[in-house]
Amino acid sequence: MDYSRRPLADRLAAEYVLGTLRGPARRRFETLLPAHPVLRDAVTQWQQRLSPLSVTVEEVTPSAQVWRNIETRLFGERTPAPAPTLWQRLALWRGLAGVATAATVAMFIVGSRVPAPQAPIIVVLGSNPEAAQALNASFVASVTADGRALVLRPLNDLAPTPGRALELWAVPAQGAPRSLGLVRESGATTVLRTQLLRDTAAFAVSVEPAGGSTTGAPTGPIVSVGKLQI
């Protein structure tokens, strides 16, 4: 394969930077980078090209009270006695759903003139048994190591109730979640946002009205959750 052909190099570099180039294909691409200046140049250009796009999307921060109400609806009233943390509950969801959540970060050197590309962070969003009646939904999210792009793919067929939509959230360890936009029912959903990983402990998907939540916080059942581990 002629990797000096610019269209081919550009396509592979785009998939690599977004994190959609995975498995053996990604490892082969990383092996080829040191020996192919065209590939390295294409990777650098895509890294620079995606950065300004994420700046145009403004973050929405809902009130803390709204998220506390959501936590109460999901986990019940808090008691003075020690209770499982949010992430212990999320671990229970994953165990019940039979889905293992994993995240990996790998680094390698491709040359002194090109920033070292990093492998994406993988997060599995397992289905929430408590919301199975609303929708049985599982996803896998691939986040670039610099936290500027996320690609979300469903692991099973999704069929939300007509007039309803799926919305992705970045969930902090404390405080209110941040909306990352609507999720496609089939195929990949790509999110370009500055600092996707900042103050993010997990990702979650909720069922919302068509067009997304009107309150800036989850209003429907949380159907899928995955803890971020770095």
pLDDT value at position 183? 92
Would you place residue 11 in the very low, low, confident or very high pLDDT band (cuts 50, 70, 90)? confident
Q: What is the arithmetic mean of pLDDT over 56-63?
A: 55
Q: What is the arithmetic mean of pLDDT over 159-183?
A: 91
The model's pTM is 0.52
pLDDT value at position 146? 83
Alpha helices (H) along 98-154: none
pLDDT value at position 165? 92
pLDDT value at position 75? 63
pLDDT value at position 22? 76
Q: Are 55 and 49 a contacting pair, CB within 8 Å?
A: no
Cα dihedral value 17, 60, 68, 83, nearest 10? 20
Distances (CA, A) of 186 to 142, 156, 218: 16, 9, 21
Statement: residue 52 has pLDDT above 70 = no
Span of 53-67, 92-106, 125-139 with lowest mean pLDDT: 92-106
pLDDT by residue (tens digit) across 105-163?
333 333 434 455 567 888 989 988 888 888 888 999 988 888 888 999 998 888 888 89
Identify the burial level of 70 via C-beta atoms within 10 angstroms of its C-beta, where 0-12 means exposed, 13-18 middle and 19 or more buried.
buried
Alpha helices (H) along the chain: 6-18, 23-32, 37-55, 64-75, 86-97
Residues 67 and 58: their CA atoms lie apart, in Å, by 19
Residues 12 and 128: their CA atoms lie apart, in Å, by 35
Would you place residue 171 in the very low, low, confident or very high pLDDT band (cuts 50, 70, 90)? very high
Residues 161 and 192: their CA atoms lie apart, in Å, by 27
pLDDT value at position 203? 95
pLDDT value at position 15? 82
Mean of per-residue pLDDT scores for the chain? 76
Q: What is the arithmetic mean of pLDDT over 154-179?
A: 90
Q: Give the residue extent of every domain in the chain.
A: 6-55, 64-227
